[in-house]
Chain A
Amino acid sequence: GAGVSQSPRYKVAKRGQDVALRCDPISGHVSLFWYQQALGQGPEFLTYFQNEAQLDKSGLPSDRFFAERPEGSVSTLKIQRTQQEDSAVYLCASSLVGAGVNTEAFFGQGTRLTVV
């Protein structure tokens, strides 16, 4: 596809359940970012990949959050033992070049996670 694709669009999880969120970046894009957006807030950084290397995971809120991009393309954000405070929209973005070379990132539509 032409843009960043995320699935599922919506996910309802029972508290304590594990979830996996998928991101298909734009083909050929080197950089991939995950952001969390709470209601009424701006996107908050979670983690950054350059190809398959996770270069920055400083924004992951706890060790329940794990992200991978094993072949440098598709990425998965996994949340273990979900809590109500994990309810948010999870946004994935990709950019053509590595971070640090200032350029725009393109966002997917996001996955809205609701933990009940």
Chain B
Amino acid sequence: DQQVKQNSPSLSVQEGRISILNCDYTNSMFDYFLWYKKYPAEGPTFLISISSIKDKNEDGRFTVFLNKSAKHLSLHIVPSQPGDSAVYFCAASWNTGNQFYFGTGTSLTVIP
């Protein structure tokens, strides 16, 4: 039973435009959410996180938005750059849990 879902397997965006990656979750116990970026043949790299007490967290070109009522979060990348081309994983955890739950990933291609 997939508790974290990324329904878009792939996304293509023109360089300089905004990339929006979406993630939905089903478990209302989740209170911490993360985005990881993965290049081929490498492990996932932590990108940005958000606690459930916030609805937005920003770090440079990356912003994560959390809508708890809709159990939805999104990652915005502005402006998108070719080096952002990678697979992005959404993950979630809760404060008494022992693991992160991952989505299946969205492959982002930024076209120069």
Contacts and interface: CB of A to CB of B under 8 A. Distances in A.
A109 B42 CA distance: 5
Interface string A95-116: 0000111101111111000000
A105 B100 contact: yes
Contact of A106 (B46, B95, B103): B46
Contact of A48 (B34, B46, B49, B99): B99
A56 B98 contact: yes
Residue from A4, A40, A55, A59 having most chain B Cβ neighbours under 10 A: A40
B interface bracket (residues with beta carbon within 8 Å of A):
20 to 34
A110 B42 CA distance: 7
Most buried by B among A42, A91, A110: A42
Interface residues of A, number: 27
A6 to B, nearest CB: 8
Contacts of B89: 42-43
Contact of B95 (A35, A93, A100, A110): A100
Contacts, number: 65
B44 A107 contact: yes
B93 interface: yes
Interface in B10-51: 31-32, 34, 36, 41-46, 49, 51
Interface string B82-100: 0000000101010111111
Interface string B49-62: 10100000000000
A102 B32 contact: yes
Contacts of A102: 31-32, 49, 51, 93, 95
B102 A44 contact: yes
B65 interface: no
A66 interface: no
A33 interface: yes
A4 B43 CA distance: 10
B106 to A, nearest CB: 10
A45 B99 contact: yes
A62 interface: no
Q: Which 7 A-B pairs have the closest CB atoms?
A: A42-B102, A102-B32, A107-B43, A56-B98, A45-B99, A48-B98, A104-B46
